[in-house]
Structure 1
Amino acid sequence: MSASFASALGAAHDAAAAQHYPQGALYVVATPIGNLADITLRALHVLQLADTLACEDTRHTQSLLRAYGIDKPSAQLLAVHQHNEAEAAQAVLARLQQGQRVAYVSDAGTPGVSDPGARLAGAVRAAGLRVLPLPGASSITAALSVAGAVASGVAESGFVFAGFLPTKTAERQAAVQRLQAEPRCTVLLEAPHRIGELAQALAVLGERPVTLARELTKQFEEITTLPASGLADWLAGAPQRAKGEFVVLLHPAAASEDDGDSLRVLRLLLQELPLKSAVRLAAEITGAPRNALYDTALAWKREPPGDAD
C-alpha cells in the first residue's frame, strides 16, 4: 500500500460503513482516471466489502486495489470486458442470486459510459436485481467542467456524447459532416494513435472552437482550446501532444442573428426545389453561409424538422 493512502481505508470505514449495502446487488464503482487520490471514500468501502469484483482487466484492478491496501484473492476477481460482457453477465447473475455483493469497475472512470458495463447493468436489471451507482471520476464531465463550451440559446443547451468516431476515413468524414449541423457541444473520445487523423477530419469545421483535453488528472495533463482548422498544427508542434487518451469537445457553432430567417427560407425552398438549388437560393436571399445551410438541409433530409407553428 502507498503510504499516501495509509489512512484512507480507516476514513472510508468511518464515513461510509454506517450506510446500508444490500446483498444480491451490483455496485457500479467509478475509479480514478489517472490521479489515485480521486477515489471516493464510499468506493473504497465497497471495494473492501464486495464478495466479487467484476473487472474490465483483473490485473489492472488488482494493482489498483494494492495501491489502496485492499487485498482480494484472485478467486474474488471476475473478468467482464467488451469481448465477453454478455456471457460474463451470467456469471455475475449467478453470484448475485447467491446473495453476493458484486462491485463492477472498469480500468478507469465510470463504467457503462464509454467503457464496458452497460450490458451488465441491463442484464442485472432485467433479472429483477438491484444496480447501485457509486459516482466518481469521469473524463467526460472533467473536460466539460473546464471547457466553457456553452450554447448560445437555452433550447440548444447541454451536450451530445458521440464517443469514438468510425476509424474508416469515409465513415469518419460522414460523421463529422453530421456533427457540423449539431448546435450543441459534442463530446468525442480518441486514442493517441488516431488523434492526428481525427484532427485532420475536424479541420473542415474551420474556426469552430475545439477543446482538446489529454492526460486528464495526470502529471502531464494538458487542456487547450483552438480553432478546428489549427488542431493538426498544434499536435505537430510538440511530440508529447499526441500522447495519452483524449477528450475532444466541439464547442457549439456560433449562431448568427439571421439563423431563424435563413432556416425558414431554406425550409420553404426545399418544399419546391431540389436540395442544392434550395441551398443556393437560400444563401443568396439571406446571406447565410452556403455550407452551413447545406449541412442543415442534409440533416433535415435524414430527419425532417417538425412543422412550423
Structure 2
Amino acid sequence: MLTINPLGALALQAAQAVAGAQHYPAGALYLVATPIGNLADITLRALHLLQQVDAVACEDTRHSGALLRAYGIERPLLALHQHNEREAAAAVVARLQAGERIAYVSDAGTPGISDPGARLCQAVASAGLRCVPLPGASSLTALLSVAGWVGPEAAPGFAFVGFLPAKGAAREQALRRLAQQPQACVLLEAPHRLPALARELAALGPRRLTVGRELTKQFEEVATLPCAELPAWLDAKAQRLRGEFALLLHPPEAAAPAGPDSGPEAEALRVLDLLLPELPLKTAVRLCAEISGAPRNALYAAALQRQPR
C-alpha cells in the first residue's frame, strides 16, 4: 500500500484546487519539468497532471518512481531513455493513438534539453498528435537568472551548448567555436570531466565565467570569475568536484585601448602561456594559433623559447 507523506497530500490538494478545472486533452503527450535537486520545485500543475495520465514515461523508472512516491502518486512507469528512445517512442505513439494521456519526465529539469525527449516529441508530432509542455525547473534558466550577464548589442542573446564532445578533434573544434563565440554560452559538465574543461577554458584568460554547482540543493554554489582562475577555484575545496554543474561563459568584453603590453601578439602569447603547462608543445601551439589567429611558426618559436633549458 502506498504511504502518502502528509505534506505531499496537502500539495496534491492544492494542485487539485489550482489546476483541476483546466483542460487536459486525451491522446496527448505531456512534457513535464521536474526538480533539478530541490523537491519543492515541482509545480502544482505538474502534480495534478501526473495524477491524471494513464502512464508516465521516464528516463529512469527508479528515479521517477521515488519522485512520484514522495507526493503519493502511483502510476505505471515506462522506461524511455537515450538508448531506447526510438523504439519506446513508437509504443508511446500507439498508446496516444488509442486515446491515452502519457506524461514524459527526465531525471531532472525540462525534457529535451540535454536530456531525452526530443525524438519522442518528433515521433508524436509526425503522427499528427499533440505535445503539451508543462514548464518548470531547468538548470539552464536557473543559472542564467543569477549570472548577471549582459550581451553586447552586436550579439544579443545566448547560445546553449550543453555537453561538449568527450575528446578528440570534435572537442577541439567545439572549444575553438567557444573561443570565437561573441554570445554568452551555457555549458553542462559532469564532475569527473570538469578539471579537464577548467584547464581548457583557462586559455580564455580574463573572459568571465559563472559556475553553478548543485543548483537548488543544500550545498549550492554560484561563483563568477575569470576563466583563468577556474582551475584554482576548483582546487580550493575538495567538495567542489562533486555534484552537477552548469556554466555560463560570458560574452567577450570590448577590447581595451592598446598599450605597450596589449594587442594581438601579446594576447596570443598570453594564451600560449596558459596552454603550454597543460598540453604537449605542438598541441598547445596549434590550439593557440586557432584561437588567436597568430602565425603558427611564430608561436612555435615562442614556445621553444619558453621550454626549460
Q: Deviations over 1:89-126 (max 9, x none)?
A: 01001100110000000010000011100000010000
Within the candidate set 68, 74, 82, 1:65 is matched to 68
Q: Deviations over 1:215-236 (max 9, x none)?
A: 0000000010111111111101
- TM-superposed CA distance for 1:258, in Å, is 8.0
User: TM-score, length-normalised on structure 1?
Assistant: 0.82
The answer as to whether partners of 2:191 and 2:244 remain within 8 angstroms in 1 is yes
Q: Kindly indicate whether residue 92 of structure 2 is the aligned counterpart of residue 86 of structure 1.
A: no
How many corresponding residue pairs? Answer: 269
2:24 corresponds to which residue? 21
Which range moved further: 288-297 or 101-110?
288-297
- TM-superposed CA distance for 1:170, in Å, is 4.8
2:197 corresponds to which residue? 198
Within the candidate set 17, 35, 40, 1:37 is matched to 40
Q: Kindly indicate whether residue 117 of structure 2 is the aligned counterpart of residue 114 of structure 1.
A: no
1:175 corresponds to which residue? 174
Q: Kindly indicate whether residue 45 of structure 2 is the aligned counterpart of residue 46 of structure 1.
A: no
Q: 2: distance between equivalents of 1:223 and 1:57? A: 28
Q: Deviations over 1:241-279 (max 9, x none)?
A: 0110100110000023789xxxxxxxxxxxxxxxxxxxx
2:28 maps to a residue whose letter is A
The DSSP-based 3-state class of the residue aligned with 1:187 is strand
The answer as to whether partners of 1:258 and 1:288 remain within 8 angstroms in 2 is no
In structure 2, the CA distance between the partners of 1:207 and 1:169, relative to structure 1 (3 Å rule), is farther
In structure 2, the CA distance between the partners of 1:195 and 1:31, relative to structure 1 (3 Å rule), is same
Q: 2: distance between equivalents of 1:258 and 1:23? A: 62
Question: Unmatched 5+ residue regions in structure 2?
Answer: 269-287, 295-309
2:98 maps to a residue whose letter is Q
- TM-superposed CA distance for 1:171, in Å, is 3.6
1:256 corresponds to which residue? 255
Q: Deviations over 1:46-85 (max 9, x none)?
A: 100000110101111110001011122xxx2111000000
The answer as to whether partners of 1:173 and 1:201 remain within 8 angstroms in 2 is no
1:137 corresponds to which residue? 137
Q: Deviations over 1:140-194 (max 9, x none)?
A: 00000000121122x3111001111111155433321211111110000000111
The answer as to whether partners of 1:24 and 1:100 remain within 8 angstroms in 2 is yes
Aligned CA RMSD, in angstroms, stands at 2.2
Q: 2: distance between equivalents of 1:149 and 1:167? A: 27
1:282 corresponds to which residue? none
- TM-superposed CA distance for 1:138, in Å, is 0.2
The answer as to whether partners of 2:206 and 2:228 remain within 8 angstroms in 1 is yes
Identity of aligned residues (%): 61
1:224 corresponds to which residue? 223
Which range moved further: 5-14 or 249-258?
249-258
The answer as to whether partners of 2:176 and 2:290 remain within 8 angstroms in 1 is no
1:272 corresponds to which residue? none
The answer as to whether partners of 1:172 and 1:201 remain within 8 angstroms in 2 is no
The DSSP-based 3-state class of the residue aligned with 1:216 is coil
1:162 corresponds to which residue? 161
The DSSP-based 3-state class of the residue aligned with 2:125 is helix
Q: 2: distance between equivalents of 1:3 and 1:231? A: 44
Q: 2: distance between equivalents of 1:2 and 1:211? A: 37
The answer as to whether partners of 2:264 and 2:292 remain within 8 angstroms in 1 is no
1:238 maps to a residue whose letter is K
The answer as to whether partners of 2:59 and 2:81 remain within 8 angstroms in 1 is yes
2:238 corresponds to which residue? 239
The answer as to whether partners of 1:184 and 1:252 remain within 8 angstroms in 2 is yes
Q: 2: distance between equivalents of 1:294 and 1:190? A: 24
In structure 2, the CA distance between the partners of 1:294 and 1:168, relative to structure 1 (3 Å rule), is closer
In structure 2, the CA distance between the partners of 1:238 and 1:126, relative to structure 1 (3 Å rule), is same
The answer as to whether partners of 1:55 and 1:80 remain within 8 angstroms in 2 is yes
Question: Unmatched 5+ residue regions in structure 1?
Answer: 260-285, 299-309
Q: 1: distance between equivalents of 2:290 and 2:80? A: 44
